[in-house]
Chains A and B, each alone.
Chain A
């Protein structure tokens, strides 16, 4: 049994697809959208790492390291914003987020 490129691409594209599906399915809930975005990040990280292993080139791992860092920063900053918003409005539904304007 070997690991082929189609298998790797299938797994990573399924991860990205699940993330997109999550964004569309839970588009009214900001936290679920954030979780789904994390899935998309995970899919691209997986793709970079496995591509790096396939071509014996460690640069892909460096990019996946940066990507993990970026996704952590993204989650923490957005959760801080959500916390401020939740404390003020007591809900996190995206339909009423237009009250953030001005």
Chain B
């Protein structure tokens, strides 16, 4: 049963990735990219890797939200409104409906029957490995994220001070 779901999600990932590259406007490309990310998270959830799936979804949601806002800044509606084809809008609508359906499916579906993998990817095992074997990596990545946040704030605030 899991194989069928894997193939469905894989087709969704590939089609969304293809559309994300081939669509002309960046706004639709961002929506397609979100679709691809949710489908990958669905595949991960099927492997019982719920923590990684949730982490991927939350981090991608944050970054894609920033991306969407920036795309809205760059996207010139007045210039593009005249020649946006109806086909592009229909494709976006289809992908939005698919996105909602996938989210509902992932939310309401009970434990997927994958008895062999389920104990290997369970959260306690993952936590043990993460903090026993990869503790240094966790520290390095935490320092990386912290330095990025500090650098980002310094960049933006410094610019504001310069402008003021």
Contact = CB atoms under 8 A, between A and B. Distances in A.
Interface string B60-98: 101100110011011000000000000000000000000
B44 A49 contact: yes
B67 A75 contact: yes
Interface residues of B, number: 57
A36 B19 CA distance: 11
Nearest to A53: B47
Contact of B52 (A3, A19, A49): A49
A99 interface: no
B92 to A, nearest CB: 15
Contact of A35 (B6, B20, B130): B20
Interface string A51-92: 011001111011011101111110111011111101100001
B117 A73 contact: no
Interface residues of A, number: 55
Contacts of A79: 66-67, 70
A89 to B, nearest CB: 12
B106 interface: no
B101 interface: no
Contacts of B7: 1
Contacts of A52: 121
A65 B55 contact: yes
Contacts of A77: 148, 151-152
Contact of B70 (A11, A29, A82): A82
Interface in A1-57: 1-3, 7, 11, 14-15, 18-19, 21-22, 25-26, 29, 31-32, 34-36, 38-39, 42, 45-46, 49-50, 52-53, 56-57
Interface of B: 2-4, 6-7, 10, 13-14, 17-18, 20-21, 26, 29-30, 33, 36-37, 40, 43-44, 47, 49, 51-52, 55-56, 59-60, 62-63, 66-67, 70-71, 73-74, 116-117, 120-121, 125-126, 129-130, 133-134, 137, 141, 144-145, 148, 151-152, 155-156, 159
18 contacts: A2-B3, A7-B10, A11-B13, A11-B14, A18-B18, A19-B21, A38-B33, A38-B63, A53-B49, A65-B51, A65-B55, A65-B130, A68-B56, A77-B151, A79-B66, A79-B67, A80-B152, A84-B155
Given A15-B14, A39-B36, A84-B159, 9 more contacts: A18-B18, A19-B17, A35-B20, A45-B40, A49-B44, A59-B134, A61-B52, A65-B52, A68-B59
